[in-house]
Structure 1
């Protein structure tokens, strides 16, 4: 079978001309993005201050196996038409665009998008709170950070309890008490059946070393 090559006609994406700290930038409206992104190139060009995340956040794309991570974010003055506000963007490597405006921007400014013809309607000049039935919560990395702190606490507890959790071969026997516990036999003449325990040949050296350690303690 010979491969066929063909051309296709597709509508253009909705790209806006926006301003970041007074500088022009190309922004893609993406209804499938759950965050607002800014390219690392634009961040470097504008000299924006990066806020390093305590733990990188994974970015999962629609293509299976395509993954990236967010290591920092920036705050910038965002302007589009009559919108003027401070907005936070996650910093990632982007191709072809300076900004990706995802569902947070679309939700907060009540944006309606249409094609054929292309149109963008802004419902709110000020960003509204993200809340309601159509809102999802993305867990933060706090749980992972807490786990790291718990591991430090575990190590501290191990150090403090080192004298209580000694190796049996090195620990001393408890002292004799005035009252020692005994188990009297009902019939002292009765002989109980028994058989000697067996140790696999491969483990005999370990058993011999452990036996010597116990006898020497």
Structure 2
């Protein structure tokens, strides 16, 4: 105990929520430690500028709803992971193995790089994108990518999984009334309706989305 602050053996503050450390001489090193994570750095600055605990700064609807997009983001449920090998490997959300263990039904949509114009321009390099989703609600549950740029394109899936807001027109002017981003609701329908730059690897989302939705359509037709 030094100057009223409990220290551990590092020495660091035992109250982790403060997100900063204190040396045995009572010196607080705030930004230097928290900068290892942008989100931790943001929370540390909030703690420094207000006396309110960070978990009370959120609206009640967000603070008490585990399905709220921001709550899911902070819980780590939609944190992206990347392995910078050759080829790159990246994922966000659930895997097929996790869903099987949890007895959660799922379907997959797959796009291979060789199906894309960009993939052919890259010399037919191997790679693919896999979207895992709920067959009833079409909610996106996980995104997995292997290949060139996998750690980059994974963020498109991360955004769709972590947000449920309606994005309206980009401009109210008559000349731009046709420019509509659409609804990013965390479902496979986004990939069916979205327009991606061509040719890009991001186009894999549309191909994989249509692949997954076609499986659901075929299943429903077989049940009629």
- Which TM class, normalised by the smaller chain length? under 0.3
Greater RCO (CA < 8 Å, at least 6 residues apart): 1
Between structures 1 and 2, the one with greater helix share: 2
TM-score (normalised: structure 2): 0.24
Greater per-residue strand proportion: 1
| Higher Rg | 1
